[in-house]
Every structure is written in C-alpha cells, then in structure tokens.
Amino acid sequence: MKKILVLLGIVISLAIIVVFGIKLFMQHKASQYEETAVPYIKMVIPEISKWDPQIIKKYMPAASLAQTSDEKIINITQHLSKLGALKKMHQPSFSSEDLDVKIAGVKNTIISYEINAEYENGDAVITLGLQKEGSTYRVHNFKINSSVLTE
C-alpha cells in the first residue's frame, strides 16, 4: 500500500510539474509578442468591428485577399454586423504560435489570440490569427463566436 501511495505521489508531482512547465512556456511565448501584437489587436478590433468590407480588406495580407472574393467578404461583414457596434474589448489572451504556415509557398508565422468583446447586441469571443509581416502584422483570419450570430 505504501508503494502505491509513493507512486501516486510521484505521478501527481510529475503532472503538476508538466502543467506548470506548459504554463511558463506559454507565458514566455506571449511575452515575445506583448509589445507588438497586443497594441495591434487593440487597434484592429475596433476597425474590424465597423463591419466595413473595405476596412477589413485593408488589414488582410495580399495572399488572403487573393483567395477571398469581395462577395464573400461582403457576406461575412453583413452577417457579423448583427452584433452591432463594439462597446468594450477585454485584454487579448495569447493562444498559440505557428512558425511554419505556408501561404503562397512561403513560410509564415501566425500567432493567435482570443479576445472577449461586448457589442451592442451581445457578447462575443473573437479568435484572431495574425500573420507576422516584418515589424507589424496582418489579419490572417478571424472568427467571432456569439449567440447573436446563431439567431
């Protein structure tokens, strides 16, 4: 019985160490982008939330624009406009970093963030993928989850 308890203690200790290690690693990754990506997100979310296709296109990289028709962007913005105006955006939360995303045959870095936001007609969770482009970013993709959009 004593051996089982010792073994269980070791397994639990290892699990705690692994979870803590992953948390530290994610904090390190997030800190790499804190000074550049977060200000960009805080600037771009209010712009995207105007639901104007021309504004959204301004923040997309050329490769994404080439693959997305104007009609599709218009349809998406019309659907998302059901949320209404942006009232409040919470602090962006780092989700992931992907260093080897091939776009038009070129390797790119895509970093993802989740942002809780409050709109006129309800709350939403925005998942934003940013493509690193020199010292700045472009909106590679975004997804908005809200009960307002399912009605």
Phi, psi angle pair for 32, to nearest 5°: -65, -30
**36: helix, strand or coil:** coil
Give the helix, strand, coil percentages of the chain, each rounded to 5: 50, 35, 15
Let me know whether 55 and 24 are in one domain.
no
pTM, to two decimals = 0.76
Place of tokens 């089982």: 4
Please tell me whether residue 121 adopts helix, strand or coil conformation. coil
Tell me, yes or no, whether 134 and 112 share the same domain.
yes
**pLDDT per residue as tens digits for the range 117-148:** 999 999 999 999 998 877 789 998 889 999 98
Shared-domain flag, residues 97 and 116: yes
| pLDDT tens, residue by residue, 66-118 | 888 889 999 999 999 999 999 999 999 988 877 666 666 667 778 899 999 99
Does residue 34 have a pLDDT over 90?
A: no
Q: Assess whether 8 and 48 both reside in one domain.
A: no
Q: Which domain holds residue 110?
A: 35-150
Whether 50 and 1 map to the same domain: the answer is no
Stretch (H or E) spanning 142 = strand 136-145
For residue 115, the model assigns a pLDDT of: 96
Token readout for 21 is 């290690």
45 lies in the same domain as 16: no
